[in-house]
């Protein structure tokens, strides 16, 4: 199966427009779906009958209204075009009408230049900058995006009322519910990792989802239930290059949500949908390579890591406050990143240690497996922007030879209060992360990867549409605490 997948990916990598059209003929495709990612990180799309697809679309592009897309154009400059990437072509494994998916790049129709706010363009520029830096030729990425699968989701937000409710048949709070009959086997809080079925009620769900992912050309290494009760899951994809993994993350999130809906369930990558149980993160494994050699490996180094890897870690830690604006980019992200609750908030590094922001896995002594894992990000991140930002932070660390300090091979959650207070931590809110990005973004501008316009747009949107949106509204917990004052 793995060899078949590799062949499929290889075929996609050499695809051209004529091959795409031939694929449509051979697969009896009826619709073509043009997809692109907005600034915030949501897949957008529109479709055409396959009879409208011709090779000129890959050169001339397809028009759309950029003013209706979050973070894109003003209404007086709304016309934009998409150029499909032929190498991205794949047949959607879930839609009932056979549909070809094409990932597209965004262009300005007047200048015919790439659009600076296209997140995929930023990822591609980051890869080009890595090559021109002379430091490495390739970066590899392996995100572990966790998600919840619920059986019922309800929320309401009005001027005079607000509420939310999520439910799962395996939620421990349903252990006493009359289910005619209730068969038990519901994972207790923080005990969802790794009990076998029937406690893991989503085994077949995840296996079926993995098969669909493989149909779409995604290599999957492992899937399992995660720590929290109530349907927390993880499916790990095989590592790949930065832009390719950004594409794959967008497809992965789409397939997870679509497959859940097909099974009358709802999937979410929201970091903290349940109080008092583990949240969902997106731990990001990353490494730098040059001409087939892993630059992060040194047999004599700490945890078999090189000096270059140490400086890369130094860059990640030094810029973490600003990185959180892209890596943990929602107000809900900071319901997960809370000190003292087994969250990866401590800006230190260590081998094997999941209480540190940067963990160095030591499962294998193979030079090819050496990597570092940055743990604060979560699945609400726009993967193109988050991966690019982390890469630039690491490269800044290498250029400036930023030392990350001494590794901390201790349980950071159990440190005495006086020692714990000395450890720098990630920002405590999205607002604080955005303020940090305002003051520390020169490293993102290197190589013109990010632009000031994109950063300013990000900060303004997040503050106005998310931070203020939440900050201005009464919270149900405030009624609990303060109504009788």
Residue 226 bears catalytic tag = yes
Ramachandran assignment for 320, one of left (phi > 0), alpha (psi -120 to 50 degrees), beta (any other): alpha
Residue 204's pLDDT is 97
Q: What is the pLDDT of residues 220-249, one digit of tens each?
A: 999 999 999 999 999 999 999 999 999 999
Alpha-helix runs per DSSP H in 366-441: 383-400, 417-420, 430-439
CA distance 423 to 93: 47
Residue 146 bears catalytic tag = yes
> How far is Cα of residue 44 from the mean position of the Cα atoms in its chain?
16
Catalytic pick from 65, 419, 448, 456? 65
Catalytic pick from 8, 354, 399, 424? 354
336-372 exposure pattern, b = at least 16 Cβ within 10 A, e = fewer: bbeeeeebbbbbbbbbebebbbbbbeeeeeeeebbbb
What average pLDDT does this structure show over 292-305? 96
14: buried, middle or exposed (CB in 10 Å: 19+, 13-18, 0-12)?
exposed
Catalytic pick from 105, 127, 144, 244? 144
Residue 33 bears catalytic tag = no
DSSP-based helix, strand, coil % in the chain, nearest 5: 40, 20, 40
CA 111, 117, 122, 123 torsion-angle sign = negative
Residue 188 bears catalytic tag = no
Ramachandran assignment for 95, one of left (phi > 0), alpha (psi -120 to 50 degrees), beta (any other): beta
Is it the case that residue 414 has pLDDT exceeding 90? no
CA distance 326 to 393: 12
Residue 65 bears catalytic tag = yes
Please count the other Cβ atoms lying within 10 Å of the Cβ belonging to residue 160. 5
Q: What is the pLDDT of residues 144-182, one digit of tens each?
A: 999 999 999 999 999 999 999 999 999 999 899 998 999
Q: CB of 240 within 8 A of CB of 141?
A: yes
Catalytic pick from 117, 283, 285, 359? 283
Residue 144 bears catalytic tag = yes
Could you write out the DSSP letters of every residue in 275-341? TTS----EEEEEEEEETTEETTB-TTSGGGB-HHHHHHHHHHHHTHHHHHHHHS-STTHHHHS-TTS
Q: Domains along the chain?
A: 2-115 (3.10.20.70), 132-170+202-482 (3.30.590.10)
Is it the case that residue 208 has pLDDT exceeding 50? yes
Residue 35 bears catalytic tag = no
Residue 77 bears catalytic tag = no
Catalytic pick from 226, 244, 277, 396? 226
Catalytic pick from 105, 373, 378, 466? 373
pTM: 0.94
Catalytic pick from 375, 396, 431, 466? 375
The CA-CA-CA angle for residues 449, 455, 458, to 5°, reads 130
Question: Percentage of the chain surpassing pLDDT 70?
Answer: 97
Q: Which helix (H) or strand (E) holds 166?
A: strand 162-167
Residue 307 bears catalytic tag = no
């Amino acid at each position: 199966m793995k060899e078949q997948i590799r062949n499929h990916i290889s075929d996609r990598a050499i695809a051209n427009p004529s091959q795409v059209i031939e694929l449509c003929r051979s697969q009896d495709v009826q619709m073509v779906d043009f997809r692109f990612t907005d600034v915030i990180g949501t897949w957008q799309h529109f479709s055409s009958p396959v009879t409208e697809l011709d090779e000129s679309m890959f050169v001339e592009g397809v028009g759309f209204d950029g003013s209706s897309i979050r973070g894109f154009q003003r209404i007086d400059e709304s016309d934009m075009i998409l150029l499909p990437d032929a190498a991205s072509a794949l047949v959607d494994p879930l839609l009932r009408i056979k549909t070809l998916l094409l990932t597209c790049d965004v262009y300005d129709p007047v200048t015919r230049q790439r659009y600076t706010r296209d997140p995929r363009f930023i990822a591609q520029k980051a890869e080009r900058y890595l090559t021109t830096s002379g430091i490495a030729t390739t970066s590899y990425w392996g995100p572990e995006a966790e998600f919840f699968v619920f059986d019922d989701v309800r929320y309401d937000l009005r001027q005079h009322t607000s509420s939310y409710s999520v439910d799962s048949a395996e939620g421990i709070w349903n252990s006493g519910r009359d289910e005619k009959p209730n068969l038990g086997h519901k994972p207790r809080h923080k005990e969802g990792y790794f009990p076998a079925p029937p406690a893991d009620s989503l085994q077949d769900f995840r296996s079926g989802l993995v098969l669909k992912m493989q149909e779409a050309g995604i290599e999957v290494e492992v899937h399992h239930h995660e720590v929290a009760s109530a349907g927390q899951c993880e499916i790990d994809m095989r590592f790949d290059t930065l832009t390719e993994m950004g594409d794959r993350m967008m497809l992965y999130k789409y397939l997870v949500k679509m497959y859940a809906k097909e099974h009358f369930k709802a999937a979410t990558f929201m970091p903290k949908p349940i109080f008092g149980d583990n949240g969902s993160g997106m731990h990001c494994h990353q490494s730098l390579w040059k001409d087939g050699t892993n630059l992060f490996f040194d047999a004599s180094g700490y945890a078999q890591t090189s000096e270059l890897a140490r400086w890369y870690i130094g860059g990640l830690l030094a810029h973490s406050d600003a990185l959180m604006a892209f890596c943990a980019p929602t107000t809900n992200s900071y319901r997960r990143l809370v000190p003292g609750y087994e969250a990866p908030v401590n800006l230190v590094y260590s081998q094997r240690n999941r209480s540190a922001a940067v963990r160095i896995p030591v499962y294998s002594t193979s030079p090819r497996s050496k990597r570092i894992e940055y743990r604060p990000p979560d699945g609400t991140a726009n993967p193109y922007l988050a991966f690019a930002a982390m890469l630039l932070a690491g490269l800044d660390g290498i250029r400036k030879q930023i030392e990350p300090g001494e590794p901390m091979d201790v349980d950071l959650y159990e440190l005495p209060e006086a020692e714990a207070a000395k450890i720098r931590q990630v920002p405590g809110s999205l607002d604080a992360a955005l303020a940090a990005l305002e003051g520390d973004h020169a490293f993102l501008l290197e190589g013109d990867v990010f632009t000031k316009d994109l950063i300013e747009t990000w900060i303004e949107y997040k503050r106005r549409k998310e931070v203020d949106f939440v900050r201005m509204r009464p919270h149900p917990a405030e009624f609990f605490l303060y109504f009788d004052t």
